[in-house]
Amino acid sequence: MTIDWSWMGDHTDDLTALTISHLQAALTAVLLGVLISLPLAVIAHRIRPLRGLLLGLSNVLFTIPSIAIFVLLLPVSGLTRTTTVIGLTIYTLVVLLRNTVEGLDSVPVKVKEASKAMGTRPLRTLLTVEFPLALPVIMAGVRIATVMSISLVSVATYIGDGGLGQLFTDGFQRNFPTPVIAGVVLTLLLAVVADAALVALQYVLTPWRRRRA
C-alpha cells in the first residue's frame, strides 16, 4: 500500500477544507455539550433523587450506536450538519455530565461552608468557588469528549456529512488508499492538537495550581 504524494499535493485545499469542517462539527458539539451538561450537573449534584436518573439516562444514550443516533435523527433534521452536531452532542453528554458531577462532588464541604460563612450567596459560591475547584475534573471530561467527537465525526459520512470521513468513502469507492490514510492521520493529528490546546487552556484557567519553583 503506497501513498500517492502527488494526490496529496493536488488536494491540499480539499484536505484543509475538510479538516476545518471536521473540527467545526466536533467543537460545536462539545461546546453545546458543555452548555447543556453544566446546569444538568448542578441539578444532579444538588438534588440527589435526580442524580441517578440523569446519569442513568445519559448512560442509556451512550449505549445507542453512533450510526444509529445519526440515522434516528434523520426524520427530525434530515441529511444535514444539524444531525451530525446533535448526534455528537448526545455522545459528549455522558462523559461531560459524569465528570462535572464528580468534579462538583470533589469540592470539600468545608470550602463551601467557609464561602457560605463569609456571606456569599449560593449562586456566587457555585460560580466563584465550586466551578473553579471542580475545573480539573470537568476539563478531564471535556478532553475525553473532544477527542471522542473528533473521531466520531467521520461516522456521519454515512449520512452525507462527516468532514474527513468523506475521504474514507472516497478511498473505499475508488479502491485508492491515499485519501483514507490522509483522513486517518489528519483525524489523529486533530485529536492530539485539540487535546494539547485543552491542556494549555486548563493551565491558563487554574493559575492557583501552578507551584512556584
Residues in touch with another protein (CB under 8 A): 1, 60, 62-69, 71-72, 74-75, 144, 147-148, 150-151, 154-155, 157-159, 164-165, 167-168, 171-172, 175-177, 180-181, 183-184, 187-188, 191-192, 195
Helices (H) and strands (E) in the chain, counts: 11, 0
- Please state the closest distance from residue 63 (CB atom) to another protein, in A: 5
Number of residues in the chain: 213
Identity of the residue, 73 or 126, whose beta carbon is nearer to another protein in the bound complex: 73
- Please state, in angstroms and as integers, the Cα–Cα distance from residue 205 to each residue in 104, 112, 151, 170, following that order: 17, 20, 26, 41
Closest approach of Cβ 152 to another protein, in Å? Answer: 8
Residue 175 Cβ vs another protein, minimum distance, rounded to whole Å: 6
Q: At what angle do helices 131-152 and 12-46 cross, to 10 degrees?
A: 140
Which residue type is seen at 95?
V
Judged by beta carbon, residue 133 or residue 141, the one nearer another protein is 141
Smaller CB separation from another protein, 50 or 188: 188
First to last CA, the chain: 51
